[in-house]
């Protein structure tokens, strides 16, 4: 991250996207300068709730002071728990230590945990909140692009194991999401690009016009000029909110579309040891390109659409091939084994989100494993 001293803007406008769930709808508030008003907003949304903040070392160094001041102004601050940055914190040992810390801080059933960071912190803190005292409320304050457009919304929480990513977790919807877009200016270019992959996902799975807009405007989104970055965040959040409202726990097939590229991508992350060799968004970019290419090979998708997707990711600076992953390359058998552990497996059958074109994703519930093995073998050998 870059210096955060000037990142907290004092913008007045904000957008509210509602996640409409029966009896427990919640707001995603999107705007600049929201961190400074967190205390007031939580006091209004959750009267009487005190707050324990979970963050990582990088985010805490930049932004914990103003968040803490806002909470203290309203008498809400219980304390903080700081974890190491990176995917390795999504583990049983870190979860256990975090849970003990939250109990020591005095978090009660009527209080809340604030997940203050990127996707790792959101998943970890959300999971801890879901099991602490059999469930306390969580407020997501995402600080990365990936978290603002994806992981902070929808209630999926979890940790990783050697068998795969997010295989241990719960559904635990937040009570409130505060997406302060001014903090995105402190992300490194690589972190921002990784989050941008999840923005592109919404165009590829169901909104071809949005993908075309991204093709035309990605440079302004990256630079933060002209309000286009915020528009990308808002559009992504609206798309995810609609999908969550239609299929909260992925039982109807609609929410599964959000997994476009993820079965491939999660396997690649596991092979890379959940390390900085391959960020989550980078893995998902490769995974989405693989999903499009595989769909072309199955005769489902025009080759021109797959080429467009690969071209766009390359232009942005995102990886598109397995060969582009630094270090030891995964073997096809390893990828297949990890994909078979994925949460999309049902009755021993591997489901994949495939496409009929840009904006036309669907779930194929029974993938031919021999065909997939041949495909992965070719892709692992591609240079």
Q: Which active-site residues does the annotation give?
A: 134, 156, 198, 240, 250, 255, 259, 262, 266, 280
How wide is the angle at C-alpha 253 spanned by C-alphas 250 and 256, nearest 5°?
65
Alpha-carbon gap, residue 377 to 126, rounded angstroms: 37
Helical packing angle, 262-271 and 332-340, nearest 10°: 120
Alpha-carbon gap, residue 27 to 147, rounded angstroms: 15
Count Cβ atoms below 10 Å from residue 297 Cβ, excluding itself.
Answer: 15
23 to each of 68, 78, 173, 175, 245, how far by Cα in Å?
Answer: 30, 28, 12, 12, 12
| Residue for token pair 């809340």 | 112
Collapsing DSSP to helix, strand or coil, 84 comes out as: coil
Tokens of 366: 């029974």
Closest CA to 201 of 264, 149, 160: 149
Do residues 215 and 316 touch, judged by C-beta distance below 8 A? no
Alpha-carbon gap, residue 297 to 265, rounded angstroms: 19
Collapsing DSSP to helix, strand or coil, 168 comes out as: strand
Tokens of 249: 């726990």
Work out the widest C-alpha separation in the chain, in whole angstroms.
Answer: 61
| Residue for token pair 């994703």 | 361
Collapsing DSSP to helix, strand or coil, 232 comes out as: helix
Closest CA to 356 of 304, 310, 292, 311: 292
Alpha-carbon gap, residue 267 to 311, rounded angstroms: 23
Collapsing DSSP to helix, strand or coil, 188 comes out as: coil
Closest CA to 19 of 325, 238, 288, 210: 238
> Where are the strands (E) in 20-63, listed by range?
26-31, 51-56
């Amino acid at each position: 991250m870059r210096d955060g001293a000037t990142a907290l803007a004092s913008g007045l406008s904000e957008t509210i996207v509602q996640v409409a769930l029966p009896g427990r709808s919640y707001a995603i508030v999107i705007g600049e300068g929201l961190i400074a008003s967190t205390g007031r907003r939580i006091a209004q949304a959750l009267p009487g709730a005190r707050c324990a903040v979970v963050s990582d070392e990088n985010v805490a160094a930049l932004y914990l002071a103003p968040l803490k001041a806002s909470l203290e102004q309203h008498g809400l601050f219980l304390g903080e728990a700081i974890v190491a940055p990176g995917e390795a914190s999504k583990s049983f040992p870190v979860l256990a230590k975090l849970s003990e810390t939250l109990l020591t801080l005095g978090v009660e059933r009527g209080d809340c945990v604030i997940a203050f960071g990127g996707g790792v912190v959101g998943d970890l803190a959300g999971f801890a909140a879901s099991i602490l005292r059999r469930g306390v409320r969580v407020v997501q304050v995402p600080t990365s692009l990936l978290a603002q457009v994806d992981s902070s919304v929808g209630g999926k929480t979890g940790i990783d194991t050697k068998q795969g990513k997010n295989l241990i977790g719960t559904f635990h919807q937040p009570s409130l999401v505060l997406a302060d877009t001014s903090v995105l200016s402190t992300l490194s270019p690589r972190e921002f690009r990784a989050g941008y992959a999840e923005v592109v996902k919404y165009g590829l799975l169901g909104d071809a016009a949005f993908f075309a807009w991204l093709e035309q405007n990605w440079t302004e989104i990256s630079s933060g000029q002209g309000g286009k970055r915020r528009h990308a965040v808002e559009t992504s959040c609206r798309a995810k909110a609609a999908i969550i409202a239609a299929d909260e726990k992925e039982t109807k097939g609609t929410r599964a579309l959000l997994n476009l590229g993820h079965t491939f991508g999660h396997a690649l992350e596991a092979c890379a040891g959940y390390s900085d060799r391959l960020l989550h968004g980078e893995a998902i970019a490769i995974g989405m390109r693989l999903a499009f290419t595989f769909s072309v090979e199955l005769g489902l998708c025009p080759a021109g659409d797959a080429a467009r997707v690969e071209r766009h990711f390359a232009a942005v600076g995102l990886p598109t091939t397995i060969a582009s992953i630094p270090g030891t390359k995964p073997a096809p058998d390893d990828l297949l084994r990890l994909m078979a552990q994925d949460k999309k497996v049902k009755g021993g059958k591997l489901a994949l989100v495939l496409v009929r074109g840009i904006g036309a994703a669907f779930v194929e519930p029974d993938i031919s494993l021999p065909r997939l093995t041949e495909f992965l073998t070719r892709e692992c050998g591609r240079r």
